Amino acid sequence: MGAAVNAAGANGQANVVDPAVMRILDANLNRAREALRVIEEYARFVLDDADAAERVKSCRHDLREMAEAAGTQALLTARDIGGDVGRDVKTAAELQRGSAEDVVRAAFARLSEAARVLGEYGKLVSPPAAAAAERLRYQSYELEQRAVLRGSLRAKFRAVRLYVIVTEALCRGDWLETAEAVIRGGAGCIQLREKELPDAELLRRARQLRELTARHGVLLFINDRPDIAKLARADGVHVGQDDLAVREARRIAGGNVLVGKSTHTLEQFAAAAAEEPDYIAVGPMFPSPAKPQDHIAGPQTLAEAAKRTQIPLVGIGGITPANAAAIIQAGASCVCACSAVIGADDPEAAARSIIRSVEA
């Protein structure tokens, strides 16, 4: 054993700590730091997910604070690479990975294990550091859901340019044929919104749409109903201001399902962002015959929201081919239309017209 090491205690005074404990903390801080860097690169370059990458950066910042609480100088003093008997111990599985997802899954495993070790041994050195390690461990669980379970769906959603809400009462023709027409027109995401249908009929329609959207490689969301979304194997659920919170919706629908949230003001937007949905809808952008409201958020609200988050934003309300491009320019990742598309004589052409405006 080496000489005892002075480490920062909870009261800021130097504590004499077994150097073996400091070596354990140092090794696991390094392990956690390295795992977070692997995860961040996956979020940036594989998923192209700025929101997830920002969360990983926040975790790395927390890790630095943990090291400072334990005593960075003491940790460095205790480091003994040459004396680490486990340095060269590798299993065959550690040296092989089948895909980028395998790489990031292994990184998450290392991160949660390192956080657990930091939490336990940190109690001997710095209770605040130990508490921070526990928080990091739970953050890693949520990040793993986001990056691994929902990562590909989140990436697919960010590629959507037109999101269409389907409500039978606003369709000129058969609702399912209308949905297929807007998909042919370029819609990358369909939301089933039927407030008044009995549950059995709503589920039946959701399953019909699931079959249709799966055949075309299009995302399916269910409005308000995480239970129906789960039963229909939808890709996501959309909740409003008076519906379940994002966390509750995700608990019902499952961690592999996207959750979006509606907002109408910057105050609502800030509250929604804190819930960590997979996207936030801001609107109405313009007066909408499908959903009349006294308050019009307008593109200026969307533009201000875009400055405050990396979460994908959806501009909704009164969207037409004439104004869709302005919504993208304001900071939306896609536009959400309803009556302008499903209420058109030719829904396919209407959808295509909005896509052309957005892509221009």
Q: Strands 219-223 and 14-17: what pairing?
A: unpaired
> For the chain, where do the domains classified as CATH 1.20.1260 start and end?
5-149
Per-residue tokens: 233: 């194997």
For 354, list phi and psi in degrees, rounded to 5. Answer: -65, -40
Per-residue tokens: 70: 């334990």
- Contact (Cβ atoms closer than 8 angstroms) between residue 334 and residue 314: yes
pLDDT at 83: 75
- Contact (Cβ atoms closer than 8 angstroms) between residue 138 and residue 174: no
Ramachandran bin of 189, using left for φ above 0, alpha for ψ from -120 to 50, beta for the remaining angles: beta
- Contact (Cβ atoms closer than 8 angstroms) between residue 239 and residue 262: yes
Tell me which of 3.90.550, 3.40.1760, 1.10.10, 1.20.1260 is the CATH number of domain 5-149: 1.20.1260
- Contact (Cβ atoms closer than 8 angstroms) between residue 315 and residue 280: no
pLDDT at 17: 76
- Contact (Cβ atoms closer than 8 angstroms) between residue 181 and residue 351: yes
pLDDT at 329: 97
- Rounded to 5 degrees, what angle do the CA atoms 254, 256, 261 make? 75
pLDDT at 88: 66
> For the chain, where do the domains classified as CATH 3.20.20.70 start and end?
153-359
pLDDT at 292: 67
Half-sphere exposure for 46 (CA within 13 Å, toward CB): 18
The residue among 96, 107, 185, 108 whose CA lies nearest residue 139 is: 108
Please tell us whether the domain made up of 153-359 is placed in CATH 3.20.20.70: yes
- Contact (Cβ atoms closer than 8 angstroms) between residue 53 and residue 146: no
Averaged over successive runs of 10 residues, the pLDDT of the chain (360 residues) comes to 52 66 95 97 96 94 91 90 72 80 96 97 93 94 94 96 98 98 98 97 98 98 98 98 97 97 98 97 87 85 97 96 96 97 98 95
Rounded CA gap, 139 and 119, in Å? 13
- Helix boundaries (H) for the chain: 19-41, 50-70, 72-78, 100-121, 127-144, 151-158, 175-184, 199-216, 226-231, 246-253, 266-274, 298-306, 324-330, 339-342, 347-359
- Contact (Cβ atoms closer than 8 angstroms) between residue 348 and residue 181: yes
